[in-house]
């Protein structure tokens, strides 16, 4: 692999449960956890690998892929294909190198864009020590380069945005299709530009942080409206995964204690699904699912597996 010493002067290579990954020594969150624990987002990776792709490989769309510590192990372990979006130049270079390191170039496409509701150029505010906490800005702030930023201050870089529908329209994507969002507050804008993609997707996994959503000029209610296009869901990594899944509305009822005015910094990972039973559920639960799918009241979406 070609070296880019100017871009990767602080690079760090370490081994863990997902294999060897290259990251930034300045990253005190994502790469630091992989160094210390040998994994990142283990519960999410295991859920997708063992349950969502439990009936066989599909498509994993990773919006906010960072350096690949989610998309790479999922694709590697399931034989699925991956489409990974990462707009920040250093993260994108590391993502591409990690995909190449794991010899997944033929199965993971890496794209240097932020997904959004329109195709524009926007400033990306960079966290100096958490390379998973870069944030798109709605308006252009005074440009500040990394070289001129004071310690702890956020620099900015201009990045391109794309509508997910425009990128994926016309592509043949094997089911199940899992769409994962981790975009630090722009989730509503991503979903607004992904109506066609959402209609095709079997599962949506998204970070839900009302504070970040409000800071970007959107509302938690709009996020809920878009997510509830999937009738079933669950709050992840807090309690055991409910089986069968709850209704999507129940998921937001569970989180109604979080202030939606942007004053509460709490955040959760949420799962939304087309069906109330996941692959590899217990036989008695799968039996209930078969009965309900044959009933007249079962939701129909016009999407076949």
Is the model's pLDDT at 228 over the cut of 90? yes
Q: Is residue 149 part of a domain?
A: yes
Q: What is the CATH number of the domain that holds 44?
A: 3.40.50.150
pLDDT confidence of residue 202:
97
Q: Is residue 6 part of a domain?
A: no
Q: Is residue 267 part of a domain?
A: yes
Q: Is residue 300 part of a domain?
A: no
Q: Report the share of the chain in percent with pLDDT over 70.
A: 86
Q: Is residue 303 part of a domain?
A: no
Is the model's pLDDT at 21 over the cut of 80? yes
pLDDT confidence of residue 155:
83
Structure-token match 């798109």, residue found: 136
Average pLDDT over residues 211-224: 95
Q: Is residue 1 part of a domain?
A: no
Calculate the average pLDDT of the chain. 88
- pLDDT of 235-277, one tens digit each? 998 889 999 999 999 999 999 999 989 898 888 999 999 999 9
pLDDT confidence of residue 140:
53
Nearest to 220 by CA among 238, 204, 239, 207: 207
Is the model's pLDDT at 144 over the cut of 90? no
Average pLDDT over residues 222-239: 95
pLDDT confidence of residue 257:
93
pLDDT confidence of residue 153:
64
Q: Is residue 204 part of a domain?
A: yes
Is the model's pLDDT at 42 over the cut of 70? yes
Tell me which residue range forms the domain holding 163. 11-293
pLDDT confidence of residue 296:
64
pLDDT confidence of residue 281:
83
| pLDDT bucket at 19, cuts 50 / 70 / 90 | very high
* Domain count across the chain: 1
Average pLDDT over residues 190-198: 97
Is the model's pLDDT at 292 over the cut of 70? no
Average pLDDT over residues 225-230: 96
| pLDDT bucket at 211, cuts 50 / 70 / 90 | very high
pTM: 0.88
Q: Is residue 108 part of a domain?
A: yes
Higher per-residue pLDDT: 197 or 128? 197
- pLDDT of 1-12, one tens digit each? 334 444 556 889
pLDDT confidence of residue 151:
53
pLDDT confidence of residue 142:
42
């Amino acid at each position: 692999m070609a070296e880019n010493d100017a871009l990767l002067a602080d690079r760090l290579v370490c081994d863990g449960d997902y294999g060897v990954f290259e990251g930034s020594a300045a990253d005190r969150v994502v790469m630091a956890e992989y160094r210390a624990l040998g994994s990142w987002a283990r519960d999410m990776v295991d859920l997708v690998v063992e349950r969502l792709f439990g009936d066989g490989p599909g498509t994993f769309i990773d919006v906010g892929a960072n350096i690949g510590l989610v998309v790479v192990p999922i694709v590697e372990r399931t034989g699925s294909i991956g489409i990974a979006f990462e707009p920040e130049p250093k993260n994108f270079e590391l993502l591409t190198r990690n995909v190449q390191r794991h010899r997944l170039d033929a199965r993971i496409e890496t794209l240097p864009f932020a997904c959004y509701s329109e195709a524009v150029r926007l400033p990306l505010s960079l966290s100096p020590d958490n390379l998973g906490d870069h944030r798109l800005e709605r308006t252009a702030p005074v440009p500040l380069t990394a070289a001129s930023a004071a310690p702890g201050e956020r620099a900015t870089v201009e990045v391109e945005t794309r509508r997910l529908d425009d990128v994926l329209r016309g592509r043949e994507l094997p089911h199940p299709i899992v769409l994962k969002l981790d975009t630090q507050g722009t989730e509503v804008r991503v979903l607004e530009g992904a109506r066609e993609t959402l209609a095709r997707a079997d599962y949506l996994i998204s970070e839900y942080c009302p504070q970040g959503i409000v800071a970007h000029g959107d509302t938690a209610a709009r996020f809920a409206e878009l997510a509830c296009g999937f009738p079933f869901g669950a709050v992840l990594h807090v309690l055991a995964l409910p089986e069968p899944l709850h209704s999507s509305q129940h998921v937001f009822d569970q989180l109604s204690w979080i202030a939606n005015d942007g004053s509460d910094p709490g955040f959760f990972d949420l799962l939304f699904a087309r069906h109330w039973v996941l692959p590899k559920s217990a036989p008695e639960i799968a039996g209930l699912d078969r009965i309900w799918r044959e009933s007249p009241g079962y939701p129909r979406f016009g999407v076949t597996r």
